[in-house]
Amino acid sequence: MAQGTKGVALSRRQLLRLIGVAGGSAVMYQAMTSLGFAAESTFTGVPALGPAPRGASVLVLGAGIAGMVAALELRNAGYRVQVLEFNDRPGGRVWTLRGGDRYTELGGATQDCGFAPGQYINPGPWRLPHHHHGILGYCRRLGVTLENFVQVNHNALLHDPVAFNGKPQRLRAIKADYQGQVAELLAKATRGGALDEPVTAQDQEILLASLQWWGALDRDYAYRPCFESSDRRGYDKDPGGGPGGAPVFSAPIKPADVLNSGLWGFLPLGELHDMQSTLMQPVGGMDAIARAFGRELGDSIRYRSKVLDIRQDEDGVTATYEDTGAPGIRQSARADWCVCTIPLSILGQIPMNVGRPMADAISAVPYTGSTKVGLQFNRRFWEEDDHIYGGISYTTQPIGTIGYPSHGYQSPGKSVLLGAYVWGHDADRFNAMSPAQRVAQAVEQGGRLHPQYRDEFDNGIAVSWHRVPGAMGCFAMWTEALREQHYANLCAFDGRIVLAGEHASYQPAWQEGAVNSALDAITRLHQRALASGGKA
Please tell me what DSSP assigns to residue 472: S
Cis previous bond, 371, omega within 30: no
pLDDT score, position 41: 75
| Architecture of the domain spanning 57-92+287-366+478-532 | 3-Layer(bba) Sandwich (3.50)
CA distances from 337 to 241, 296, 370 (A): 72, 22, 34
pLDDT score, position 392: 97
Residue by residue, DSSP assigns 188-212 as: HHHHTTTTTTTS-HHHHHHHHHHHH
List the chain domain ranges. 5-35, 57-92+287-366+478-532, 98-155+279-285+368-467, 170-261
pLDDT score, position 197: 65
Contact 319, 338 (CB under 8 A): yes
Structural element, H or E, at residue 129 = strand 128-129
How much helix, strand and coil, in percent to the nearest 5, is found in the chain?
40, 20, 40
Identical topology for domains 57-92+287-366+478-532 and 98-155+279-285+368-467: no
98-155+279-285+368-467 maps to which CATH number?
A: 3.90.660.10
Contact 477, 344 (CB under 8 A): no
The fold of the 170-261 domain, in CATH, is de novo design (two linked rop proteins) (1.20.1440)
**Count of alpha carbons within 13 angstroms of residue 250, beta-carbon side:** 21
pLDDT score, position 529: 97
Angle between the N-to-C axes of helices 171-191 and 201-214, in degrees from 0 to 180, rounded to the nearest 10:
160
pLDDT score, position 191: 82
Q: How far apart are CA 423 and CA 371, in angstroms?
A: 7
Q: Report, in angstroms and rounded to the nearest whole number, the Rg of the chain calculated over CA atoms.
A: 26
Structure-derived torsion over alpha carbons of residues 16, 17, 23, 28, reported in degrees to the nearest 10: 40
pLDDT score, position 17: 47
Q: Residue-wise over 167-198: b if at least 16 C-beta within 10 A, else e?
A: ebbbbbbbbbbbbbbbbbebbeebeeeeeeee
Amino acid at site 223 = Y
Q: pLDDT for 207-226, tens place per residue?
A: 889 999 999 999 999 999 99
pLDDT along the chain (536 residues), means of 10: 42 49 45 48 85 97 98 98 98 98 98 98 97 97 98 97 97 95 89 72 86 92 93 92 93 94 90 90 98 98 98 98 94 98 98 98 96 98 98 96 98 98 94 98 98 98 98 94 96 98 95 96 97 67
* Burial environment of residue 241 by CB neighbours within 10 A (0 to 12, 13 to 18, 19 or more): exposed
Q: How far apart are CA 335 and CA 529, in angstroms?
A: 12
pLDDT score, position 505: 95
What SS3 class is residue 488?
helix
